[in-house]
Amino acid sequence: MKNIAVALAMLLATFGALAREATPLADDPQVEARLIAIAEELRCLVCQNESLIASRAGLAMDLKNQARELIKAGKSDAEIRDYMVQRYGDFVLYRPPLKSSTLLLWIGPFALLIVGFAAVWIFVRRRRTLPAAALSSQDEARADALLGTRADDSGR
C-alpha cells in the first residue's frame, strides 16, 4: 500500500515537469548548438556588455529566434552573421573585420605595447649611462656603521 502511494506521488511529481511550457523553437539540439556558436560571437545591442547568447533582453530573444529560423532555412554561419551586420553594423561582431574604421581597434593595443617597451628601453639606457654617485666620507662612515663591515674587519 505504502509503495503504491510512493509511486503515485512520484508519478504526480512528473506531471509538473510535463506541464511546463516548451521553450519556443529550442527543440532541436543541433540548431541550438549552432545558434550558441554564432551568438557567442555577437554583441547584444541592448545590454552592450553581454553577448547575444547570454542576454535575455527582448531584442536579443527576437534576434536569437530569427537566427534559429535562418539556421533551419539552411543558411550558413557567415550568412547569418551578415544578416546581423546588414542591420546593426560591425558593432555587433566581437571580432570586427579589419577596415579603415576599425584600424585603431586592431592596431591600437600593439602600438601602445611598442610605445611602452620603447619607454622602458629609453629609461633603462639612461640609468645605465648615469655616473655612479660618489659617497661623501661621512656617508661612507654611516653606511659602514650600519652594515658593520669595518667592525668585522678590525676584529679579525
Partner 1 sequence: MRIAIVGVFLALLVLLAVGLTLNPREVPSPLVGKPAPAFQLPRLGSAERFSPADMRGKVWLLNVWASWCVTCRDEHPVLVDFARTKRAPLVGLNYKDQSDDALKWLSRFGDPYQFSVVDADGRIGIDYGVYGVPETYLIDRAGVIRFKQIGPVTPELLKGKILPMIAELER
From the CB of 82, what's the least distance to partner 1, in Å?
A: 11
Instruction: Please give the residue ranges that form the binding site for partner 1 (CB under 8 A).
Output: 45-46, 48, 58-59, 62-63, 66, 85-91, 119, 126
From the CB of 84, what's the least distance to partner 1, in Å?
A: 9
* Grid coordinates given for 26: 529550442
From the CB of 85, what's the least distance to partner 1, in Å?
A: 7
From the CB of 89, what's the least distance to partner 1, in Å?
A: 4
Nearer Cβ to partner 1, position 51 or 66?
Answer: 66
Alpha-carbon distances, residue 118 vs 115, 121, 124, 128 (angstroms): 5, 5, 10, 15
Nearer Cβ to partner 1, position 94 or 145?
Answer: 94
Nearer Cβ to partner 1, position 28 or 69?
Answer: 69
Q: Which residues pair with residue 93 across a beta bridge?
A: 42
Burial 115-146 (b: 16+ CB within 10 A, else e): eeeeeeeeeeeeeeeeeeeeeeeeeeeeeeee
